[in-house]
């Protein structure tokens, strides 16, 4: 490939003769280039057929764009046939060689049936929904022509892809080999690791950039009463105060917080009050409780879903608050609406990758403290995604949702932290 200079780690992958190769690699470290390099010799081999497959067409285009630029443009190879939609490459066939490359998406399993192939690149393999995509759709395509497969991805906890990664070190699977390449070991990685650690949770940093398999099961937030609870935390009239609401008839929740700058120059959240209902309550009554807070409120935040019409009042929860003089603010962007991203964003406030806390809770907020301590992920099953949303149990989720709305609105998510956005 024109201009491609593989690292020693990448050379190890390229020199391997194993049929099934698993490359677990951190972000922004050149894994897409190494995958494209594997494709190039086969495109130049007559009568070969291969696929690039990812969880979505958008992800598959990362490698396809490299192929397009280096083969179709730089090498000036004659293309007999190609299919492009809005500049995205879906298929190409080299003139005189009869070699074919197709770009496919795992979210359309029906497109993964029907033909044998010589090679298969699975990009962001760990993000595939489950192992059935590999076992029932992709693996059979390699049988007739004894094709090979390279899977490249950052990890996604101890899910189905980890079991394939483990085969690389298992002598019972002689056709398999695995690699683990942290971003910090790559010359292509340009981000400042210390800055990333301030923005991300420790689990997320280790997973996304150190290429480590971490588990997101169990407790959602690392709430520590000794660290996060403060007995003498009081309202400071000099600071703006924010109220965030989780609407709903069934045990709604409200958190009240202020923001200060810590000695390191980073914002720190101080929760000074709450409404943690243990019984159902009408939105009108909840609004009166919020209105009664003895604080100078700078802004009110809430769930965008609160704009829907209530079956009790005939008007939306947000409208109820508006009529009482409280304008509810909320963001509608996909980044904020994604629960997994939001939870990861909030978790960073409880503990960043350096182990520092950026949120403290008054000891009088007993309902919130109990909710933060007991907020959990569902019990993982063998076929469940590791990166799933926390439990909606109707007990501990309301205060946590209220906190998430407040933080994600006041401090917007700038980049993908844990979900499926902005790969």
- pLDDT tens, position by position, 389-410: 888 888 899 999 999 999 999 9
Percent of the chain with pLDDT over 90: 35
- Between 310 and 82, the more confident residue is 82
The pLDDT of residue 131: 83
Cα Dmax for the chain = 79
Residue 206 near residue 153, CB atoms below 8 Å: no
Ordered strands of the 20-25 beta sheet: 79-85, 88-94, 100-105, 49-54, 119-123, 148-153, 20-25, 176-181
What distance lies between CA 407 and its chain's CA centroid?
18
d(CA 324, CA 307): 15
pLDDT digits (tens, 9 = 90+) for 172-225: 899 999 998 888 777 777 777 777 777 777 777 878 887 887 765 678 888 888
SS3 301: strand
Q: Does domain 8-190 have CATH number 3.40.50.300?
A: yes
> Quick one: DSSP state of residue 376?
B
Residue 382, pLDDT above cutoff 50 = no
Q: 254 or 154, which is more confident?
A: 254
Task: Give the pLDDT confidence of 259-291 residue by residue, as tens digits.
Answer: 999 888 889 999 999 999 888 899 999 999 999
In the chain, domain spans: 8-190, 225-410
For the cut 60, the answer to whether the pLDDT of residue 312 exceeds it is no
Give tens-digit pLDDT for 69-123.
776 777 777 778 778 777 777 888 887 888 888 888 888 777 788 789 999 999 9
Per-residue pLDDT, 217: 60
pLDDT at 384 over 50: no
Quote the pLDDT of residue 383.
39
What distance in Å separates the CA atoms of residue 36 and residue 61, rounded to the nearest whole number?
11
Dig out the tokens for 389 from the structure.
Answer: 């949303």
* Per-residue pLDDT at 332: 80
Average pLDDT in the chain: 84
Identify the burial level of 113 via C-beta atoms within 10 angstroms of its C-beta, where 0-12 means exposed, 13-18 middle and 19 or more buried: exposed
pTM of the model: 0.58
In DSSP terms, 24 is beta-bridged to 153, 180
User: In the CATH scheme, what architecture does the domain 225-410 have?
Assistant: 2-Layer Sandwich (3.30)
Least confident of 9-13, 62-66, 303-307, 412-416: 412-416
Q: What is the pLDDT of residues 225-251, one digit of tens each?
A: 888 999 889 999 999 999 999 988 788
3 state SS of 272: strand
User: Across-strand partners of 143?
Assistant: none
Distance CA 101, CA 120 (A): 10
Q: How far apart are CA 280 and CA 282, in angstroms?
A: 7
**pLDDT tier at 379, thresholds 50, 70, 90:** low
């Amino acid at each position: 490939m024109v201009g491609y200079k593989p690292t020693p780690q990448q050379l190890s992958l390229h020199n391997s003769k194993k049929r099934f190769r698993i490359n677990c690699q951190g972000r922004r470290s050149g894994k897409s280039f190494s995958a494209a390099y594997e494709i190039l010799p086969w495109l130049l081999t007559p009568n070969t057929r291969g696929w690039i497959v990812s969880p979505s067409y958008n992800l598959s285009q990362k490698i396809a764009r490299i192929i397009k630029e280096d083969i179709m443009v730089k090498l000036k190879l004659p293309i007999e046939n190609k299919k492009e939609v809005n500049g995205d490459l879906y298929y190409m066939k080299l003139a005189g060689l009869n070699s074919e490359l197709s770009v496919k998406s795992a979210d359309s399993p029906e497109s993964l049936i029907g033909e044998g192939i010589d090679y298969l690149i699975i990009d962001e393999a760990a993000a595939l929904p489950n192992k059935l995509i590999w076992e029932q759709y992709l693996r059979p395509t390699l049988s007739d022509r004894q094709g090979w497969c390279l899977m490249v991805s950052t990890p996604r906890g101890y899910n189905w892809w980890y079991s394939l990664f483990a085969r690389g070190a298992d002598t019972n699977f002689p056709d398999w080999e695995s690699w683990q390449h942290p971003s910090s070991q790559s010359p292509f990685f340009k981000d400042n690791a210390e800055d990333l650690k301030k923005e991300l949770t420790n689990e997320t940093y280790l997973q996304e950039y150190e290429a480590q398999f971490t588990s997101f099961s169990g407790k959602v937030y690392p709430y520590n009463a000794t660290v996060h609870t403060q007995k003498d935390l009081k309202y400071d009239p000099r600071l703006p105060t924010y109220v965030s609401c989780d609407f709903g008839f069934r045990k709604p929740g409200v958190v009240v917080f202020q923001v200060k700058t810590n000695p390191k120059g980073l914002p720190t959240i101080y929760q000074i009050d709450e409404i943690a209902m243990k019984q159902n309550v009408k939105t009108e009554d909840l609004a009166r409780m919020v209105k009664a807070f003895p604080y100078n409120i700078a802004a009110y935040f809430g769930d965008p879903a609160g704009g829907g019409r209530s079956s009790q009042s005939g008007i939306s929860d947000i409208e109820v608050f508006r009529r009482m003089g409280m304008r509810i603010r909320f963001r509608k962007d996909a980044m904020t609406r994604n629960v997994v991203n939001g939870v990861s964003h909030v978790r960073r406030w409880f503990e960043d990758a350096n182990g520092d806390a950026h949120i403290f809770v008054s000891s009088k907020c007993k309902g919130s403290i109990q909710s933060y301590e007991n907020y959990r992920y569902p019990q993982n099953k063998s076929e469940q995604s590791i990166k799933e949303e926390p439990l909606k149990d109707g007990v501990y989720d309301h205060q946590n949702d209220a906190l998430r709305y407040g933080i994600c609105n006041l401090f917007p998510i700038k980049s993908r932290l844990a979900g499926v956005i902005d790969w």
